[in-house]
Homo-oligomer: A and B are copies of this chain.
Amino acid sequence: MRIDGLQYANWSEKIFRQLREGQVDAIHVTIAYHENFRETVLNFEKWNRWFEQYPDLIMKGQCASDIDVARETSRTAVFFGFQNPSPIEDDIGLVEILHTLGARFMQLTYNNQSLLATGCYEVEDTGLTRMGKQVVKEMNRVGLVVDMSHSADRSTIEAAEYSDRPIAITHANPHRWHPARRNKSDDVIRAVTQNCGMLGFSVYPHHLKDKTDCTLESFCEMIARTADKFGVDHLGIGTDLCQDQPDSVVEWMRVGRWTKKIDYGEGSASDAGFPPMPEWFQDNRHFDNIEDGLRQVGMNEAEVAGVMGQNWYRFFSENFGPHP
């Protein structure tokens, strides 16, 4: 079973076919960065059209059993998420509305301070806000997973502790391996995984040691060491693949409508666009490379199967419905 914990591609029939070639059973796709509620609904509508147009390749995913249906019918189940809480605006009632529409992950922050928590680019991290605490409990109630990939450390640890249910970092790597601002300290990874939360390993070059030149061996060795330290059951893949996106999209991701200036985020003035992906992971047809790489660094078949999809499957099955 193969599940990718995060992608934000410029979707097309070509990519849907590559998902099938790569035997990807399920993906979590981002459908909002800075979109407000109405704009996010337009993105749900766009996916509804794709589901209608490509019924043999993709299907909407709402619960883990949809992945079984997808596998039986050779399709990819698509689960929705937001990288920012902008879709709920200032209205806690939109948490359930958006879950009903199919949202299954929501980041409490995207780099900046939000109404809910602090992002990883702010100077001060004040943890969960008043509204943030209320929204975490509401997300727990309906089964919308708290994702802290772009959040600051204190906010992440508080969210992991305050949440009644496991949370996720869908796409990041350990800071110890590559000290990027978006990568996570041991304390953060421990807080998330010790409560049965998940860490999805990113292949986005800014999160990789040696960036685009990162070797497959280094990436897989890092996964194996993280498994030694935090337990393999809490680990999956979250490639952060942004295939076929123009550079205007990475600018939207970084800048949204919150500034009139340019913000380069993980990039820089001289390296402002999407970085080229490593040669061993260009698109969805390359999951074999990661799977083989994990074997090469000594992980056994059960461990490899867990990281490649079964851990996400178990997490989906426990966290996408109403709180038991």
Write the A93-137 contact mask toward B (1 if CB under 8 angstroms, else 0). 110110011100000000000000000000000000000000000
A249 sits at the interface (CB 8 A): no
User: What is the size, in residues, of chain A's interface with B at 8 Å between Cβ atoms?
Assistant: 16
Question: In the complex, which residues 25-79 of chain A have their Cβ closer than 8 Å to any Cβ of chain B?
Answer: 37-38, 41-42, 44-45, 48-49
The answer to whether B96 and A45 have CB atoms under 8 Å apart is yes
- Which residues of chain B are within 8 angstroms of A91 by Cβ–Cβ distance? 45
In-complex Cβ contact of A41 among B48, B49, B97 (8 A): B97
- Which residues of chain B are within 8 angstroms of A49 by Cβ–Cβ distance? 93
Q: Give the distance to chain B from A315, nearest Cβ to Cβ, in Å.
A: 24
Q: Give the distance to chain B from A95, nearest Cβ to Cβ, in Å.
A: 10
Closest to A142 in B: B48
Question: In the complex, which residues 224-245 of chain A have their Cβ closer than 8 Å to any Cβ of chain B?
Answer: none
Among A42, A91, A93, the most chain B Cβ lie within 10 Å of the Cβ of: A93
The answer to whether A41 and B94 have CB atoms under 8 Å apart is yes
The SS class assigned to the A binding surface is helix
Q: Give the distance to chain B from A39, nearest Cβ to Cβ, in Å.
A: 12
- Which residues of chain B are within 8 angstroms of A37 by Cβ–Cβ distance? 38, 41
- Which residues of chain B are within 8 angstroms of A38 by Cβ–Cβ distance? 37-38
The answer to whether A48 and B93 have CB atoms under 8 Å apart is yes
Given A37-B38, A38-B37, A38-B38, are A45 and B97 neighbors across the interface (CB < 8 Å)? Answer: yes
- Which residues of chain B are within 8 angstroms of A48 by Cβ–Cβ distance? 93, 96-97
Q: Give the distance to chain B from A59, nearest Cβ to Cβ, in Å.
A: 13
Given A37-B38, A38-B37, are A45 and B101 neighbors across the interface (CB < 8 Å)? Answer: no
Q: Give the distance to chain B from A218, nearest Cβ to Cβ, in Å.
A: 44
- Which residues of chain B are within 8 angstroms of A100 by Cβ–Cβ distance? 100-102
Complex CA distance for A101 and B38, rounded to whole angstroms: 14
- Which residues of chain B are within 8 angstroms of A94 by Cβ–Cβ distance? 41, 45
In-complex Cβ contact of A45 among B42, B45, B93 (8 A): B93
Q: Give the distance to chain B from A161, nearest Cβ to Cβ, in Å.
A: 25
- Which residues of chain B are within 8 angstroms of A97 by Cβ–Cβ distance? 41, 44-45, 48, 101
Q: Give the distance to chain B from A143, nearest Cβ to Cβ, in Å.
A: 14
**Chain A residues close to B by CB (< 8 Å):** 37-38, 41-42, 44-45, 48-49, 91, 93-94, 96-97, 100-102
- 21 A-B pairs with CB atoms under 8 Å apart are A37-B38, A37-B41, A38-B38, A41-B94, A41-B97, A42-B93, A44-B97, A45-B91, A45-B93, A45-B94, A45-B96, A45-B97, A48-B93, A48-B96, A48-B97, A49-B93, A97-B101, A100-B100, A100-B101, A100-B102, A101-B101
Q: Closest 9 A-B residue pairs measured CB to CB? A: A45-B93, A48-B96, A100-B101, A41-B97, A44-B97, A45-B97, A100-B100, A48-B93, A38-B38
Q: Apart from A100-B100, A100-B101, what 12 extra A-B contacts exist at CB < 8 Å?
A: A38-B38, A41-B94, A41-B97, A42-B93, A45-B91, A45-B93, A45-B94, A45-B96, A48-B96, A49-B93, A97-B101, A100-B102
